[in-house]
Chain A
Amino acid sequence: MAPKLSSDLLRGHTDTIVLGVLMNADRYGLEIYNRILARTGEQYEMKADTLYSSYKRLERDGCVTSYWGDETQGARRKYYRITDRGRELYRQNLLDWEFTLKILDNLLKEEKR
């Protein structure tokens, strides 16, 4: 059987994923959405509600700030920018994850006799 993506596991890392997308550039809501979709190889569509509650949470905690872009045509876009605090959180979360992954990998293997 083909392997499946664990969406629960993914959802637990929404904030880190969003911060990761913002590390190199300010981006707007749909852009973040599309980049995540593309990077999972269209395997997993993270719902907009999960993303937007993540944006709002990160903004409230001071990890990102937002501003309206000055598009002259079409709908206005709201851009998100990562703050120093957000970068710090991202690095910490990444370290935590690498550490967890090592342990988890170990735990999930069949135990030797």
Chain B
Amino acid sequence: MNTHEYIDSLFADYQETSALADFKEELKGFLDERIKNLVKGGMDENNAFERATGELGDISAVAEEISRKKKQEVLGEMYLKTRHYMTTRRTALYVLCGAALGFGVIVAAVSGFFSGDANAPLGSLLIFGGIPILGFLFLWLTQETAVREAMGLRRALLYVAAGGVFLFGVFTFLFTYFEDGSGLPYAVATLIPFVLPSSAFGAFLLLTEKDRSKPWVARQREEHIKRSSGRFGDPAQEERFGLFSGALWITAIAAFILLTILFGVKFSWLALAAALVGQMLVTAAFTKSE
């Protein structure tokens, strides 16, 4: 092994920042010259290498100061390993749902162009959009990945049922509003039989959900919490941060709804954009400065 490879192997776990690359080059100079000196002093090359690398001690610990432990590894594991959990049948189902969704979108667009009203595209979206979306939901919930365990089939079906009724409710709302032209109050009334109970049921399911994270993810999360508490300093500060953010978003959503009713979506989205900017400012203000 040459010194270059040796040093690379020492720091394999660290993210290659420019500071680390600099340090590695410095260290390589140190090792090479130290070995040369030892060889000049009469030692054979292999012994000199052993001796010089032994003198380094726990050098990778120095990297803690200048680089962070690799995150890519974790991300790589998350995404690459998902492949291990994909069976041919599941893959086929994913692709099928995607194709059906694509078909639905195209048919909706085409029928919208030709008929010129909202009824036809909505109808085709209800069938060819709704079903694949529910299919995706089911597949996603029952999918074991590198980061979480799969949900049981029965529970996943309950989610799908809630989602289905919810989607149906949304379409009913849109139909009533756009097609029948019966006005907003009637459209809102259709939320009662479908959207409301399915949301409630969905909320119940979510609240009674257990943590399916794999053990290593839970560990990662704990670390993250530790890090972020370091970032915010004290808990009181963090609580204020939460309150500020909460107030900001509640205001933003209220403004969004109000502006949508008054001026339409064309302008109301600005409320959300403003909130996003506000959130960044709040985060910046609360982040502990060095």
Asked if A48 and B55 sit within 8 Å, CB to CB, the answer is yes
Asked if B59 and A57 sit within 8 Å, CB to CB, the answer is no
Report the bound CA distance from A78 to B34 in whole Å. 14
A48-78 residues at the B interface, CB under 8 angstroms: 48-50, 52-53, 56-57, 60, 74-78
CB proximity of B173 to chain A, nearest CB, Å: 60
The verdict on A39 contacting chain B, using a C-beta distance below 8 Å, is: no
Report the bound CA distance from A28 to B34 in whole Å. 12
Asked if A52 and B59 sit within 8 Å, CB to CB, the answer is yes
The verdict on B30 contacting chain A, using a C-beta distance below 8 Å, is: yes
Given contacts A47-B55, A48-B56, contact A29 B62 (CB under 8 A): no
CB proximity of A34 to chain B, nearest CB, Å: 8
Report the bound CA distance from A110 to B37 in whole Å. 46
The verdict on A95 contacting chain B, using a C-beta distance below 8 Å, is: no
Interface string of B3-35 (1 = CB under 8 A from A): 000000000000000000011011111101110
13 new A-B contacts, CB < 8 A, other than A30-B29, A52-B62, are A29-B29, A34-B37, A48-B55, A48-B56, A49-B56, A49-B58, A49-B61, A49-B62, A50-B57, A52-B27, A53-B61, A75-B32, A77-B29
The verdict on A45 contacting chain B, using a C-beta distance below 8 Å, is: yes
Report the bound CA distance from A112 to B58 in whole Å. 45
CB proximity of B46 to chain A, nearest CB, Å: 19
Asked if A53 and B28 sit within 8 Å, CB to CB, the answer is no
Given contacts A49-B62, A53-B62, A53-B65, contact A75 B55 (CB under 8 A): no
The verdict on B66 contacting chain A, using a C-beta distance below 8 Å, is: yes
- Please name all residues of chain B whose beta carbon is closer than 8 Å to the beta carbon of A50 when the two chains form the complex: 57
Given contacts A45-B55, A53-B65, A57-B65, contact A76 B25 (CB under 8 A): yes
Q: List 14 A-B contacts (CB under 8 A).
A: A30-B33, A45-B55, A48-B56, A49-B57, A49-B62, A50-B57, A52-B27, A52-B62, A74-B32, A75-B28, A75-B32, A76-B29, A77-B29, A78-B25
- Please name all residues of chain A whose beta carbon is closer than 8 Å to the beta carbon of B23 when the two chains form the complex: 52, 56
> Which residues of A does B touch, CB under 8 Å?
28-30, 33-34, 45, 47-50, 52-53, 56-57, 60, 74-78
The 4 closest A-B pairs by CB, nearest first: A47-B57, A49-B57, A75-B29, A49-B59
- Please name all residues of chain B whose beta carbon is closer than 8 Å to the beta carbon of A48 when the two chains form the complex: 27, 30, 55-57, 59
Asked if B25 and A56 sit within 8 Å, CB to CB, the answer is no
- Please name all residues of chain B whose beta carbon is closer than 8 Å to the beta carbon of A60 when the two chains form the complex: 65
Asked if A29 and B56 sit within 8 Å, CB to CB, the answer is no
Closest to A34 in B: B37
Closest to B25 in A: A76
Q: Out of B26, B57, B58, which one reaches A29, CB within 8 Å?
A: B26
Given contacts A47-B56, A78-B26, contact A56 B33 (CB under 8 A): no
Report the bound CA distance from A77 to B36 in whole Å. 14
CB proximity of B155 to chain A, nearest CB, Å: 52
Asked if B33 and A75 sit within 8 Å, CB to CB, the answer is yes
Q: Out of A33, A47, A56, A77, which one reaches B66, CB within 8 Å?
A: A56
Report the bound CA distance from A52 to B22 in whole Å. 13
Most buried by A among B26, B37, B56: B26
- Please name all residues of chain A whose beta carbon is closer than 8 Å to the beta carbon of B28 when the two chains form the complex: 75
- Please name all residues of chain B whose beta carbon is closer than 8 Å to the beta carbon of A53 when the two chains form the complex: 61-62, 65
- Please name all residues of chain B whose beta carbon is closer than 8 Å to the beta carbon of A52 when the two chains form the complex: 23, 27, 59, 62
Closest to B58 in A: A49
- Please name all residues of chain B whose beta carbon is closer than 8 Å to the beta carbon of A57 when the two chains form the complex: 65
Report the bound CA distance from A34 to B37 in whole Å. 10
- Please name all residues of chain A whose beta carbon is closer than 8 Å to the beta carbon of B29 when the two chains form the complex: 28-30, 75-78
Asked if A29 and B30 sit within 8 Å, CB to CB, the answer is yes
Report the bound CA distance from A49 to B34 in whole Å. 14
Most buried by B among A29, A52, A76: A52
